Structures are given as structure tokens and as C-alpha cells.
């Protein structure tokens, strides 16, 4: 089992070229790197776009799994779980982030990085260098520190 996660800014310049590049990257991860599990967070258009693309690719590669790693709602209703499982194959909430407070999303991202061999990252330095460090930059720095294979989009 080989795992990949996605990170990117909340807003992106979503072009057909970007979608084509991400699609090619996902295809290569599946066919060459033998990735069979993709981890997704939330709160970014890049994550949403990657999920849409993986969903299309799943028709061709039905063995791949899409996992939504929640940063909210440690316990969910069956109705909400059913809703999530329309787009994902699994969902879970990492126990270690229950008391993370403001760092919930950062800790969730660390969880995804720790479980992954590959990280597909859409990072624009101009977007990530305003008054505070962006979540994408924090994730990128952590992935580098952990020695993950990073695929820049």
C-alpha cells in the first residue's frame, strides 16, 4: 500500500493546464509509483479539484481509495457519514487532534503527511508569504522535514 496526500491554497488559478498536470501526476502515481490510497483534507479549492480528478480517474482504476481526514467533528452522524461516503471510500478523525485547538488543521495535515509517502503540493510563494505563514507553507515545510517525496504542481 502506498499513500499520497494533497495540499494547496484555498484559492487557485484553476486552468485546464493545471487540471491536466494534476491528472497526469495522479495517473503516474497510480501506474508508476503504485499509489493506491489518496488522503484529502478540506478548506482548499486545490483539495476539492484533486478529489474531482481522482474521482474521474477511479473509473479507470477502481482499486484506489479516497480517504477524507476530518479536522472537524470527531463524532459524526450516520447521515453525515453517508453523505461523505458518496465522494470518499473512508473518513476518519485523528484522535491526536481532539485537543489541538487553533492548530487542528495543522495537526490534521501533519497526520496526512506522516501517513503518506508522496505529497502533491500546489504552493504559490506570493500567496503563502503575507502577514502569516500559510497552512500550505507549514505543510510543505513539514513534508520536507519528514523526507517525503514532494510533487510540486
Total domains in the chain come to 1
CATH of the domain at 46: 3.40.50.450
Starting at the earlier edge strand, list the strands of the sheet with 37-40: 90-92, 65-69, 37-40, 3-8, 118-122, 149-152
Range of the domain at 41: 3-152
Phi, psi for residue 44 in degrees, rounded to 5:
-140, 145
Cβ atoms of 30 and 4 within 8 Å: the answer is no
Task: Compute the half-sphere exposure of residue 29: CA atoms within 13 Å on the CB side of its CA.
Answer: 28
pLDDT in tens, the chain (153 residues): 899 999 998 888 889 999 999 999 999 999 999 999 999 998 889 999 999 999 999 999 999 999 999 999 999 999 999 999 999 999 999 999 999 998 999 999 999 999 999 999 999 876 545 556 788 999 999 999 999 999 998
Output the pTM of the full model: 0.93
Amino acid at each position: 500500500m502506498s499513500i499520497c496526500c494533497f495540499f494547496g491554497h484555498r484559492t487557485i488559478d484553476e486552468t485546464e493546464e493545471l487540471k491536466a498536470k494534476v491528472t497526469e501526476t495522479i495517473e503516474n502515481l497510480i501506474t508508476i509509483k503504485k499509489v493506491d490510497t489518496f488522503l484529502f483534507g478540506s478548506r482548499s479549492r486545490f483539495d476539492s479539484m484533486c478529489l474531482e480528478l481522482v474521482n474521474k480517474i477511479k473509473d479507470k482504476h477502481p482499486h484506489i481509495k479516497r480517504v477524507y481526514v476530518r479536522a472537524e467533528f470527531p463524532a459524526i452522524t450516520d447521515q453525515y457519514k453517508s453523505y461523505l461516503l458518496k465522494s470518499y471510500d473512508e473518513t476518519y478523525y485523528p484522535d491526536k487532534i481532539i485537543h489541538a485547538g487553533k492548530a487542528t488543521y495543522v495537526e490534521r495535515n501533519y497526520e496526512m503527511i506522516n501517513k503518506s509517502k508522496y505529497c502533491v503540493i500546489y504552493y504559490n510563494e506570493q500567496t503563502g508569504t503575507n502577514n502569516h505563514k500559510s497552512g500550505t507553507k507549514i505543510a510543505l515545510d513539514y513534508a520536507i522535514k519528514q523526507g517525503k517525496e514532494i510533487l510540486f504542481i
